[in-house]
């Protein structure tokens, strides 16, 4: 048996594929369009691995996806592929609707056809696991309870709105056609192979170059941080034992203000690669993100109670591992900060006061 992983050359997808194969999982076919966020270097350690096949392609190309499903007859589709960065969705929402909404729809259509062609135990065992985000639930005040699976959707950015739309399509394919879907809504991830446009790797990369650390607004926005390996383990558990049609919220139980995250990164860097005067002096408050969500927090009681999942890494241990990884992988960071990356930095930060 094989699984099909979409977006497997991106941050979380590549961590998932590497962890899956290291845990002696069955063969993986990775389908990825290799946008700016997709990087084959993330999968370089799989060179010569007979259980892995990489296919460059778009989830929105339904005939190509149908051909891939007919060829490999996977027992599951694990769907990571997406445009994933809120700031980019503010500058250019079209691509988010195209991939996250239309692309997921095409993928669902292809998966439905594949599943309907299966018989007996193959049909019963098939799963479509949709990887989504806590951002679909909108923004919490400091005193609100954390997001549960029953929290009403209230997405605020083009990114979260497009993910919300894809979640609704996935849900509808279960209710209407019986497609055995699973949806996971996870909080902010960090760890190896994260593209340095997101908070954690951007701050590490800038700090190492002695550049300003741009904190949006007052820096008191709260996110619930989860080490990527813990997210991957949760997805494996949901795929193995989750109930079709159900949603599972995944979170680190590690709410931190952005400024606390930046302080933790500065301190971890100082411990591992000391800089004269330290790194905290590089912090620069800049103009806020439009429509910036104030707080996200996940209530992960369902996945803990039903599947026995809880994160292995604490925030502190995960941040230290991550900083070490970026220090040890300077060549990877240099490679991804290419021409396109420089243009993005100018677009997003150039005009921020
Ligand atoms: P990422 O941007 O690092 O990777 C996305 C991958 O999808 C890239 O390899 C890209 O090339 C590929 N891709 C984009 N459009 C495609 C298309 N049309 N067809 C095929 N491949 C395409 O994103 P990530 O941070 O790894 O996130 C993966 C998934 O997890 C996304 O669905 C995201 O919404 C979700 N998620 C992310 C976080 C987080 O903190 N990063 C948290 C919760 C959920
Ligand atoms: P990000 O990593 O973009 O994830 P998300 O917006 O999906 O939560 O940002 C995490 C938080 O960090 C968010 O509140 C925005 C903030 N942030 C900054 O303060 N400065 C930055 O340069 C970036 C990229 C993010």
Cα of 81 from ligand 1 centre, angstroms: 5
Q: Which atom of ligand 1 is nearest to the CA of 35?
A: 11
Predicted local confidence at residue 56, as pLDDT: 97
Predicted local confidence at residue 352, as pLDDT: 86
Predicted local confidence at residue 100, as pLDDT: 98
Taken in order of first residue, the domains within the chain and their CATH numbers are 3-189+226-253+293-312 (3.40.50.720)
pLDDT tens-digit map of 204-225 = 999 999 999 999 999 999 999 9
Closest residue (by CA) to atom 25 of ligand 2?
199
Closest ligand to residue 187's CA: 1
Kind and range of the H or E run holding 235: helix 228-241
The per-residue b/e assignment along 292-308, b for 16 or more CB within 10 angstroms, e otherwise, is bbebbbbbbebbbeebe
Predicted local confidence at residue 339, as pLDDT: 78
Predicted local confidence at residue 340, as pLDDT: 85
DSSP state string for 108-136: HHHHHHHHHH--HHHHHH-EEEEEEEGGG
Q: Is 135 a catalytic residue?
A: yes
Q: How far apart are the first and last CA of the chain?
A: 54
DSSP symbol at 147 = B
In whole numbers, what is the pLDDT of the chain averaged over residues? 97
Predicted local confidence at residue 309, as pLDDT: 98
Distances (CA, A) of 130 to 82, 170, 183, 307: 11, 7, 5, 17
Predicted local confidence at residue 219, as pLDDT: 98
Predicted local confidence at residue 23, as pLDDT: 92
Predicted local confidence at residue 134, as pLDDT: 98
Predicted local confidence at residue 323, as pLDDT: 98
Cα of 82 from ligand 1 centre, angstroms: 4
Spell out, as residue ranges, where the chain has pLDDT lower than 50.
Answer: none
Distances (CA, A) of 164 to 98, 121, 169, 223, 224: 14, 31, 9, 18, 19
Closest residue (by CA) to atom 21 of ligand 2?
199
Could you tell me if residue 330 is left (phi over 0), alpha (psi between -120 and 50 degrees) or otherwise beta? Answer: alpha
Q: Measuring CA to CA, which residue among 91, 74, 307, 41 is closest to residue 195?
A: 41
């Amino acid at each position: 048996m094989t699984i099909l992983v979409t977006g497997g050359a991106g941050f979380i997808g590549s961590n998932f594929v590497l962890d899956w194969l290291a845990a002696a999982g069955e063969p993986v076919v990775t389908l990825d369009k290799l946008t700016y966020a997709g990087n084959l270097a993330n999968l370089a350690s799989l060179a010569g691995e007979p259980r892995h096949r990489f296919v460059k392609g778009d989830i929105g190309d339904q005939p190509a996806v149908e051909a891939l499903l007919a060829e490999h007859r996977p027992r599951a589709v694990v769907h990571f592929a997406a445009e994933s960065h809120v700031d980019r969705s503010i500058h250019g929402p079209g691509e988010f609707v195209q991939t996250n909404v239309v692309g997921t729809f095409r993928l669902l259509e292809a998966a439905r056809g594949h599943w309907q062609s299966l018989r007996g135990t193959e049909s019963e065992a098939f799963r479509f696991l949709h990887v989504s985000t806590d951002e679909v639930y909108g923004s919490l005040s400091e005193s609100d309870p954390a997001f549960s699976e029953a929290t009403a959707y209230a997405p605020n950015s083009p990114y979260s709105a497009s993910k919300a739309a894809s979640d609704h399509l996935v849900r509808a394919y279960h209710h209407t056609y019986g497609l055995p879907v699973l949806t996971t809504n996870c909080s902010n991830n960090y760890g190896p192979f994260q593209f340095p446009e997101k908070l954690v790797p951007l701050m590490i990369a800038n700090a190492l170059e002695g550049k300003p650390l741009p904190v949006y607004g007052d820096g008191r926005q709260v996110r619930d941080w989860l080490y990527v390996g813990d997210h991957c383990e949760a997805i494996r558990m949901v795929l193995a034992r989750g109930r079709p049609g159900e949603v599972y919220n995944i979170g680190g139980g590690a709410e931190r203000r952005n400024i606390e995250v930046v302080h933790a990164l500065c301190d971890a860097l100082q411990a591992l690669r000391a800089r004269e005067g330290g790194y905290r002096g590089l912090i620069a408050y800049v103009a806020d993100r439009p429509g910036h969500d104030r707080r996200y927090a996940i209530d992960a009681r369902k996945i803990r109670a039903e599947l026995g999942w809880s994160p292995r890494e604490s925030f502190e241990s995960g941040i230290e591992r991550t900083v070490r990884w970026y220090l040890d992988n300077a060549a990877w960071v240099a490679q991804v900060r290419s021409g396109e990356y420089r243009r993005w930095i100018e677009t997003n930060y150039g005009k921020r006061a």
